[in-house]
Structure 1
Amino acid sequence: MPVCSMTPCYLPAEGLPRRPQGRRRRWTRHFPDQSRVCSMERKPGRPRALTVEVIAQAALDDGIDSFSMPSVARRLGVAHSGLYRYVTDRDDLLVRAMDIAYQDAVWPGSDLSWEELLRELGESTWRACDAHPGLDRATQMAPRPAPSVLAQMPGWVSQVQKGGFTREDAAVAVEFVLALALDSSSQMARLRRIREKYEQSNDVPVVEPYDTDEVWTGRGLYGRKLDIFLAGLETRRNA
């Protein structure tokens, strides 16, 4: 029940009326000053330092793949509705939080060969996902890419293209490696949850060729998949 509508039974003992002593006379109940009571429930105002970047960082800290607008508001100590002065909705905040995560990553320079660049793109993506658990799944579900990654993709495509590939193949190569790293990171997180749930490996139905340490540990089959892709891509050079 809201504080401002409290009935006498919810008031503290010292707030209850007392019958005057002596001769009987009419009297009225005295309640605490309602303006003072209401002020106790007033939610904290928005901090002066609150910015889009602060809100996005709070979402990232809260859990990039699991945060909600109310949980971010609680973390910041502000009213839920106050967040919408800065972001449109959760999807908008998700992309902004992703962007902070990817801005923190160290991306490959422009002095690498096409193969080194693609391998380093995968490494950078893995490091970002390791630093921010859930970033892989969040990126896959986001309505649009992180601006900081999107801004660099033309340069990466151009660098691979200089290695002797068509622009179309270079674009596919860059996108494929980024997607492969994200998918593999997400897959390994899922496999870890499965291993934690089942004490005995025999409890998990697995097709025999995939029941290996390579599949279940580290980065799984990511390295092998990347090697196969790059070997195939090599055959399309200068084609």
Structure 2
Amino acid sequence: MVIWMRPERASRGPRPAHSRTEIALACVRVADAEGIDAVSMRRVAAELGTGTTSLYRYVSSKDDLYDVMVDAVLGEEQLPIPTGYWVEDLRQLASWKRARFVRHPWMATVSGRPAVGPCGLVVQERSLRAVDGLQLPIDEMYIIAEALDAYVQGFAMREVAEQWAIQRSGLDAEAWMDAHAAYAQAVMASGDFPLISRMWLDASEPHAADRAERGFQHGLDRLLEGFGASIRRSHSPGG
């Protein structure tokens, strides 16, 4: 049975010692501290101070653990207050979602399927509601919501991967570029990659101290502009 259709408390028997929320938060604590691979029935049971066997009264598999912990993260902070302007509402929602991935890096590895828990449904509904009223077919509304999610998750995964690379190598972005300076000079001197050389020498975005935030917002601008152009075409005569 899907975890969300399973009652938290059986109609008979003793009162559960732990709630589903407590289990979810225990999973999140373990994943935040030790990584997603550390999340197991045995480890979560130990975090809760209970036996592994008793945990199966609440969840039946590791996938259930993933479902409840993702839903817990999606419900940990209030969603942005809607402004009534679809571009701004999608922008705020995208930033809100990105913050979840940055705060909980393991989210990027377990969010492959739609989050259909109570909190996940609220977030999905908000995404669709942002473009409701624009006279779009529901398929178009879905495409916009999915494209936005794909952008946010993809960008967040790159941020997380960079943080892991820094932890492994001990080199931050500036130190990494310094270590590759001689190689970069050789690449540029070859003349084989003129656009990459131009980017390395002239582009300001890759070298900005806040490049992650700037990159995210500027990419989001282009995505929202594309949505807007598509919506205008669909509303134009013959569109």
Q: TM-score range by the shorter chain?
A: 0.5 to 0.7
Larger mean CA deviation between 95-104 and 159-168 belongs to 159-168
Larger radius of gyration: 1
* Cross-structure match for 1:174: 145
In the TM superposition, what whole-angstrom CA distance separates every residue of 1:77-99 from its partner, at most 9, and x where no partner exists? Answer: 22222211110101111111111
Q: Which structure: greater helix fraction?
A: 2
Structure 1: 5+ residue stretches without partners = 1-45
Q: Are 1:137 and 1:182, in contact at CA under 8 Å, matched by a contact in 2?
A: no
Alignment of 1:59-208 (within 5 A): 59-63=27-31, 65-66=36-37, 67-140=39-112, 143-147=113-117, 148-196=119-167, 197=169, 198=171, 199-201=175-177, 202-203=179-180, 208=197
Structure 2: 5+ residue stretches without partners = 1-13, 185-195, 235-239
CA shift, 1:144, in A, is: 4.5
In the TM superposition, what whole-angstrom CA distance separates every residue of 1:5-35 from its partner, at most 9, and x where no partner exists? Answer: xxxxxxxxxxxxxxxxxxxxxxxxxxxxxxx
Pairs aligned (count): 192
Q: Does 1:230 align with 2:224?
A: yes
Distance in 2 (CA, whole Å) between partners of 1:85 and 1:68 is: 15
In the TM superposition, what whole-angstrom CA distance separates every residue of 1:28-50 from its partner, at most 9, and x where no partner exists? Answer: xxxxxxxxxxxxxxxxxx99632
Please report the TM-score for the alignment, with normalisation by the length of structure 2. Answer: 0.68
Question: What stretches of structure 1 move > 6 A for 4+ residues in a row?
Answer: none
Distance in 2 (CA, whole Å) between partners of 1:164 and 1:226 is: 23
Larger mean CA deviation between 59-68 and 79-88 belongs to 59-68
Please report the TM-score for the alignment, with normalisation by the length of structure 1. Answer: 0.68
Distance in 1 (CA, whole Å) between partners of 2:161 and 2:89 is: 28
- Across the aligned residues of Structure 1 and Structure 2, the Cα RMSD in angstroms comes to 3.0
